[in-house]
Structure 1
Amino acid sequence: MRIDLHTHSTASDGTDTPAELVRNAVRAGLDVVALTDHDTVGGHDEATAALPPGLTLVTGAELSCRYEDVGVHMLAYLFDPREPEFARERELVRDDRVPRARGMVAKLRELGVPITWEQVARIAGDGSVGRPHVASALVELGVVGSVSDAFAPDWLADGGRAYVEKHELDPFTAVRLVKAAGGVAVLAHPMAVKRGARLPEKVIGELAEAGLDGVEVDHMDHDEAARDRLRGLAADCGLLVTGSSDYHGSRKTCVLGEYTTDPEVYGEIVRRATGAFPVPGAGG
């Protein structure tokens, strides 16, 4: 069984529609795929309606968090999307995305980049606008060679010249909200050096004590040393270990199923969840 628990669609900053994503998941030989758009469940209905036979959909979201000066992403799986407090917090984060992106455009223009809000809005389409859309605009303009290159101190990295803060959850609050909504919380790519400062290991231990369920270990932004360190940390803290592609369609180089999650770990995630259930495709 091949299981990919971290993907994005046009509901946030991916380039596949939710329907295209689930079809592409089948082509990639996946049996289970999680749709985890940034701070939104907006793609779940379309993905469910288009779910091909033989594929199971895990509903989820990737939550924008911050601990002191460190940006943190939290994967939330199989939660009740109607739980009011959690839904309200996701809405606050989403509502701040547009003014934040406009602020980044303004800073880039001050730096001499001929970017426009209309360009960024076109790239984002109906999705929840974010830094990757601004990064894609920089690629279109020839300012940088790739989306990853835009996430550098000269441009959009945390604290970079064109960086703008946004409303983000405290990760301890995020864990509490996910659990209260019947979901399972997994820390996303915590040792991705290219993304800026990393969460201290002692804080990961404290999150585990607060109810964190797991940590994403096998990820394109983790080298072998980071993976080994995270596996040891997960064992010490009693955390589940997951692997995922973090697929964004053509916006990034990662491919569906590039890294996967052990079926036993997936089964434990499903067992712990009470807010929602995986959705099997017809005949799945």
Structure 2
Amino acid sequence: MSVTHRPRIDLHTHSRASDGTDSPHGVLAAAAGAGLDVVALTDHDTTAGWAEAAGAVGPTGVALVRGTEISTRVTTEGGSISVHLLSYLHDPDDAVLRAECERTRDDRLTRARRMTDRLAEDFPVTWDDVVAQTGDGATVGRPHLADALVAAGVVASRDEAFATVLHPGAPYYVPHYAPDTDVAVRAVLGAGGVPVMAHPGAGARGRTVSEGTIAALAGAGLAGLEVDHRDHDADTRDRLRGLADELGLLVTGSSDYHGTGKLNRIGEHTTAPEVLARIEERGRLDVIRP
């Protein structure tokens, strides 16, 4: 009896266009090496890697979902909560969404310089060291500061840097601009994209939004939740899967691959092909296939 191949799909990866260590072509090559059929490139607040990734579809045989991971925040009585919103298959030239991403990238740059100045008071790290760790045209972020700290011998890894000197509770931390999550959801929809909340239950990263907030965002047009992610334990996945079912949201699974920048392995969690089909039905762009 023949067995029909079920496509393997990873909808969350990063390249050097933001804070990954692989080129966009390298992400697709890594996906091919892991036996994936489809991969989404979702660099932070940028589409800069899309063209190179699209050119790698033919050589690697891996289909490409064009996306972006948008930095947003939800404001609560206890303060703001960072929320990452994955946008799939949107128009990269949409004026509203593009302006929000550009504002965030610009403020990330200012914030990175301010954090570097604070770090330099106590550690042997300079702005030139941070720039040396950042790819051409990349969105500067805390991972590049972490890499500079690793190169200087201050910490052993990005994970250690994020858990200590770059943690939001550390004196060196500086917040950056990010649009309200509901505003970003509407901007994604206006650009013809499909908005999915990334790792909504990743409590180790900081405070997470409530189920009530997720329900309100679903009412504003949120399309799905990234449920299968290494930062979610089994109980969290069960809870989020039940919530998605209750709210009529799509359920995705992804690696959040950053190359050697994180332990996450490309393809370690995947999305059902039926879910990708629904995302493509809703998106303005098509999946680029070999």
Note whether the superposition's TM-score is higher than 0.5: yes
Question: Which consecutive residues of structure 2, in runs of 5 or more, have no partner in the other structure?
Answer: 1-6
Asked whether 1:57 is paired with 2:64, we answer yes
Asked whether 1:18 is paired with 2:32, we answer no
Aligned residues: 278
SS at match of 1:220: coil
Asked whether 1:136 is paired with 2:155, we answer no
> Where in structure 2 are the equivalents of 1:81-230 lying within 5 Å?
81-110=92-121, 112-126=122-136, 127-152=138-163, 154-230=164-240
**Which stretch of the first structure deviates more once superposed, 7-16 or 101-110?**
101-110
SS at match of 2:87: strand
* Separation in structure 2 between the aligned mates of residue 185 and residue 158 of structure 1, nearest angstrom: 26
* 1:135 CA drift (Å): 1.2
Cross-structure match for 1:254: 264
The letter for the 2-side match of 1:238 is G
* Separation in structure 1 between the aligned mates of residue 168 and residue 200 of structure 2, nearest angstrom: 15
Cross-structure match for 2:4: none
* Separation in structure 2 between the aligned mates of residue 216 and residue 43 of structure 1, nearest angstrom: 22
TM-score by length of 2: 0.93
* Separation in structure 1 between the aligned mates of residue 61 and residue 120 of structure 2, nearest angstrom: 48
The letter for the 2-side match of 1:242 is T
* Separation in structure 2 between the aligned mates of residue 199 and residue 271 of structure 1, nearest angstrom: 28
Correspondent of 2:9 among 3, 7, 13: 3
* 1:53 CA drift (Å): 5.0
* 1:95 CA drift (Å): 1.2
**Does structure 1 retain, via aligned residues, the 8 Å contact 2:28–2:60?**
no
* 1:141 CA drift (Å): 2.4
SS at match of 1:276: coil
The letter for the 1-side match of 2:62 is L
Q: Structure 1 segments of 4 or more deviating over 6 A?
A: none
Deviations 1:81-110 (A, max 9, x none): 111111111111111121111111111123
SS at match of 2:44: coil
**Which stretch of the first structure deviates more once superposed, 127-136 or 45-54?**
45-54
